[in-house]
């Protein structure tokens, strides 16, 4: 999350909506510095310069988002996270059917603004 920005308008940080998480208990990393993130700590949901408490990098590194959405609040574009991979493709390279299937699958977990107004498409495009 520390390096991901919207490919269209470069807005940072993107909002993260998590639907499924994998936890790797045996993942232990020695950090050269803490916080490990340079600009934004998603675990604490704060910019690094705002952190006043231990960011808990050792705990954060154990989690991977298996399914979720990255959302740009500036241009309303959303990007799926599938099998731990964020898919930040330009609109013309996205698969509309797969994206709409993803929205339908997780519609009970997705904020209404994405379902109704998200770009490049949303559930209103099905009607």
pLDDT in tens, 24-68: 988 888 888 889 999 999 999 999 999 998 899 999 999 999 999
Total of domains in the chain: 1
CA-wise closest residue to 14 among 24, 25, 29, 4: 4
Would you say residue 70 lies in a domain?
yes
Residue 125 has a pLDDT of 75
Q: How far apart are CA 18 and CA 94, in angstroms?
A: 21
Residue showing tokens 């520390």: 2
pLDDT in tens, 5-29: 999 999 999 999 999 999 998 888 8
Domain extent for 23: 15-27+62-125
Would you say residue 92 lies in a domain?
yes
Q: How far apart are CA 73 and CA 84, in angstroms?
A: 22
Given pLDDT bands bounded at 50, 70 and 90, which one contains residue 127? Answer: low
Would you say residue 80 lies in a domain?
yes
Would you say residue 84 lies in a domain?
yes
């Amino acid at each position: 999350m520390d390096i991901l920005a919207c490919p269209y308008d470069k807005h940072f940080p993107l909002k993260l909506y998590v639907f499924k998480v994998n936890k790797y208990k045996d993942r232990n990393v020695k950090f050269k510095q803490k916080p490990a993130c340079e600009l934004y700590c998603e675990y604490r949901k704060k910019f690094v310069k705002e952190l006043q408490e231990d960011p808990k990098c050792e705990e954060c590194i154990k989690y991977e988002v298996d399914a979720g959405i990255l959302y740009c609040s500036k241009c309303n574009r959303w990007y799926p996270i599938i099998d731990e991979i964020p898919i930040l493709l330009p609109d013309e390279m996205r698969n509309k059917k797969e994206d709409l299937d993803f929205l339908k699958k997780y519609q009970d977990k997705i904020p209404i603004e994405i379902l109704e107004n998200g770009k490049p498409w949303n559930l209103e495009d099905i009607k």
